[in-house]
Chain A
Amino acid sequence: MSFINYSSREINCKIVYYGPGLCGKTTNLQHIYLKTNPDVKGKMISLATETERTLFFDFLPLALGEIRGFKTRFHLYTVPGQVFYDASRKLILKGVDGVVFVADSQIERMEANLESLDNLKVNLKEQGYDLDKIPYVIQYNKRDLPNAAPLEELQKLCNPMGAVEFEACATTGEGVFETLKAVAKGVLADLKKMGS
């Protein structure tokens, strides 16, 4: 649910990074935080365990510039990927405007990807959203690892609907901004269609 404020002339939108545990959602946000100018980003919040696993969410506010006189502000969230944190994932999806699914390219994580994708669909549906209808981008992360599955196999299993997709290596930053731009564009394009 975006928030359009005519008083401050701002558009505020919420983007959620979803995916299985250790797929690189937090690493995506950390890279964005490191590589953006201080004047466009706010403080990054990570609610994590002592072993740096996401406990509740990570949060990063970003200002992307002006469009037709309105400042565009994007709030980026990650969910905790571990299976048993499902209640938290549901809460974070509340009011989402766009979703990035971060898939782990490693062959042995394929089942975890599919489980997380199914979980995303179920949790979105509970809130009245349909993955096929909201701005949605899929990122195949960890493409640099030797045990990464072939791209065609990932596409066939994780992206049968042909959503916008990117290969990435979040630790080096490859594909991170491309993914963010694509989902942000999708969210703004959706705003344009609002009500029609």
Chain B
Amino acid sequence: MMESQLVMQQEDFDRVLEIIQKLVRDANAKGIFVVDKAGQLIAEAGELQGIDSTSLASLTAGCVAATGGLAKIVGEEEFPIHFHQGERDNLHMTLVGDRMILVVVFDERSSLGLVRLRVKKAGNGLAKLFEDIRKKAETEIQTHGSPFAEITDDDIDNLFSD
């Protein structure tokens, strides 16, 4: 099934940020990323200095997709939670709804148990929110057409003029 476009308005983005900023505090996390399964970074929060979030998003999607492929080989629909343990920092990835991935980066200030506990609640909130965003965008596009309907061929050509 082909996925629909993801259109996120300012107020939707603010609601996503509110949930993940709270999760940073509740889980004592270093950083939180919301990534879609196609590898786009949707939102981020926390101490993120030095983290290449664009690469992180792309590799997260690749990792989740590959693990999903492995799940199917052993007869599972998917493995919804992934945990990568490092010497200092750890990564916890959870599938949220059918198209998002919630990534939590944490160190010794937190623990896997705390992260799992807090992620469960935040994940449910995000899943519902993204479902609302999807429905809203679909209605908007059906009612008003593309938000970029007024782009002209010249606008597109100008992008490549140099």
A and B co-occur in one complex: yes
Which residues of A approach B to under 8 Å, CB–CB? 1-8, 11-12, 14, 42-43, 45, 47, 56-57, 59, 61, 64-68, 70, 72, 75, 77, 87-88, 91-92, 94-96, 127-129, 181, 184-185, 188-189, 191-196
Q: A45-B59, A95-B36, A192-B149 are in contact. Are A128 and B1 (CB under 8 A)?
A: yes
Of chain B, the residue at the smallest CB distance from A9 is: B10
Given contacts A1-B3, A91-B62, 18 further A-B contacts (CB under 8 A): A1-B2, A3-B36, A4-B5, A6-B8, A6-B13, A45-B55, A59-B39, A61-B58, A67-B151, A68-B148, A70-B148, A77-B58, A91-B65, A189-B153, A192-B148, A194-B5, A194-B147, A196-B145
Q: Is B54 on the interface with A (CB-CB < 8 A)?
A: yes
Check: B141 CB closer than 8 A to any chain A CB. yes
Number of interface residues of B (CB under 8 A): 46
Contact of A57 among B7, B62, B160 (CB under 8 A): B62
**Can you spell out 18 A-B residue pairs with CB atoms less than 8 angstroms apart?**
A1-B3, A3-B8, A3-B36, A3-B42, A5-B13, A6-B13, A8-B13, A43-B54, A56-B66, A59-B59, A61-B58, A67-B151, A75-B40, A88-B66, A91-B68, A95-B3, A184-B159, A185-B156
- Say whether B52 faces chain A, with CB atoms less than 8 Å apart: yes
Contact call A64/B5, Cβ cutoff below 8 A: no
The smallest beta-carbon distance between A40 and chain B, in angstroms, is 11
Cβ contact within 8 Å between B62 and A5:
no
Q: Give bound CA distance, A196 to B4, whole Å.
A: 13
Q: 6 shortest A-B CB distances, which residue pairs?
A: A95-B38, A128-B2, A195-B141, A7-B13, A91-B65, A194-B146
B159:A64 contact, CB within 8 angstroms: yes
Residues on B with C-beta less than 8 A from A193 are 146
Contacts of A191 in B (CB 8 A): 146, 148, 151
Partner of B9, one of A6, A57, A59, A70: A6
CB within 8 Å of A: which of B12-38?
13-14, 36-38
Smallest beta-carbon distance B118→chain A, Å: 24
Is the CB–CB distance between A67 and B159 below 8 Å? yes
Q: Contacts of A5 on B, CB cut-off 8 Å? A: 8, 13, 42
Residues of the A chain whose Cβ atoms lie less than 8 Å from the Cβ of B10? 6-7
Smallest CB–CB gap between A51 and chain B, Å?
A: 20
Contact A4 B6 (CB under 8 A): yes
* A contact residues around B159 at 8 Å (CB): 64-67, 72, 184, 188
A residues less than 8 Å from B4 (CB atoms): 1
Digitize B120-162: 1 where CB-to-A-CB distance is under 8 Å, 0 elsewhere: 0000000000000000000001101111111101011111100
**CB pair A1 B148 closer than 8 Å:** no
Instruction: Tell me which residues across on chain A come within 8 A of B158, comparing CB atoms.
Output: 67
